[in-house]
Amino acid sequence: MTSATCARDTAGTLAGQHTVVMGGSSGIGEATATLFAAEGADVVITGRNQDRLDQATRRIAENSAVHGKATAHRMDGADQDDIAAFFAQSGPVDHLVLALSSSAGSGPFAELDLTDLAAGFEGKFWPYLRILQAALPRLRKDGSVTLVTAASAHAAFPGTAGLAAINGALQAMVPPLATELAPLRINAVAPGVIDTPWWDRVPAEQREALFEGLAAGTPVGRVGQAEDIARAIHMFALNGFVTGVVLDCTGGSNLAAGR
Ligand SMILES: NC(=O)c1ccc[n+]([C@@H]2O[C@H](COP(=O)([O-])OP(=O)(O)OC[C@H]3O[C@@H](n4cnc5c(N)ncnc54)[C@H](OP(=O)(O)O)[C@@H]3O)[C@@H](O)[C@H]2O)c1
């Protein structure tokens, strides 16, 4: 190994690296924060609700067995002032993970209320862009940014045209950002169906039946867990030779039509 710039890769661990997980009080963001904290990363999770943040911080400490590495900061990713205030105090950031959720904008296209789709963009697309712009002065040049998008961007499931528009727009930006912002690395993980609190809006019985049906049509025979996506994000943060990639993490559900 000749280049000093490879030191972070060869360390093979995220220990001591400052990571911000936007949307870290639940689901995929929380699992990512837990995995990173378990490896000794210094993690800050954000979300809008202080109670949820406090509970998640406790769970992360318990589940990562590395106490004191995860702290919480309340902020609304849709609020420019909140974002500016966060980065004004954040210090340098090695890894930024964008995992905010919004369910607005889904449903059959013929009935899709376009103001709901606009709310979907306001809930995910614009916050991701605002946060990334505000984070740039704080991000270490050899750090990483991982966008959590969605396989709906190209999965062609009926009823997901709006979600495809939001997530597809984000995914389209990954390759040009990876070259423009280099050597900062920009990647995205596109989850399939993942069993997280995002699905709490669907009544439990209906959700169980839905997941069973989806699992049966998925090559790996199950829906995803938040940890499946966290492991993909971990790879993006750790592997200094990966940039400009949108990685499907779906258990193969997007291939199922060919089975
Ligand atoms: N679960 C799936 O099946 C699935 C599939 C494909 C893609 N995804 C994507 O994966 C990402 C994470 O989803 P998830 O399933 O982990 O959802 P989740 O369990 O609902 O977690 C979402 C997190 O985002 C936070 N959040 C939401 N809006 C926010 C805002 N405006 N500002 C700050 N924080 C905000 C939530 O906390 P507060 O509500 O307290 O703010 C929470 O911490 C989302 O982008 C979602 O679209 C999920």
Strands (E), 111-234: 139-148, 185-191
In a domain, 256, yes or no: no
Tokens representing 112?
């899709």
Q: How far apart are CA 241 and CA 227, in angstroms?
A: 23
Domain that holds residue 77: 12-249
**6 in any annotated domain:** no
Please report whether residue 4 resides in a domain: no
pLDDT single digits (tens) 181-218:
999 999 999 999 999 999 999 999 999 999 999 999 99
Is the pLDDT confidence value at 259 over 70?
no
Q: State the total domains in the chain.
A: 1
Backbone φ and ψ for 60, nearest 5 degrees, come out as: -60, -45
CB neighbours of 62 closer than 8 A, spacing ≥ 6? none
Task: Please report which confidence band the pLDDT of residue 6 belongs to, taking 50, 70 and 90 as the band edges.
Answer: very low
- Work out which ligand 1 atom sits closest to the CA atom of 194: 3
- Give residue 148 CA to ligand 1 midpoint distance, Å: 9
Structure tokens that stand for 213 in this block: 């049906």
CATH number, domain of 76, equals: 3.40.50.720
**Cβ of 66 below 6 Å from ligand 1:** no
C-beta 131 within 6 A of ligand 1: no
Angle, CA 104 vertex, CA 100 and CA 110 arms, to 5°: 150
Crossing angle for the helix pair 126-135 and 80-89, to the nearest 10 degrees: 30
Question: Does residue 1 lie in a domain region?
Answer: no
Nearest protein Cα to ligand 1, atom 44: 101
The whole-number pLDDT of residue 257 equals 57
Provide the whole-model pTM.
0.95
Question: So what's the pLDDT on residue 64?
Answer: 80
Q: Is residue 7 part of a domain?
A: no
**Quick one: pLDDT band at residue 2, thresholds 50, 70, 90?**
very low
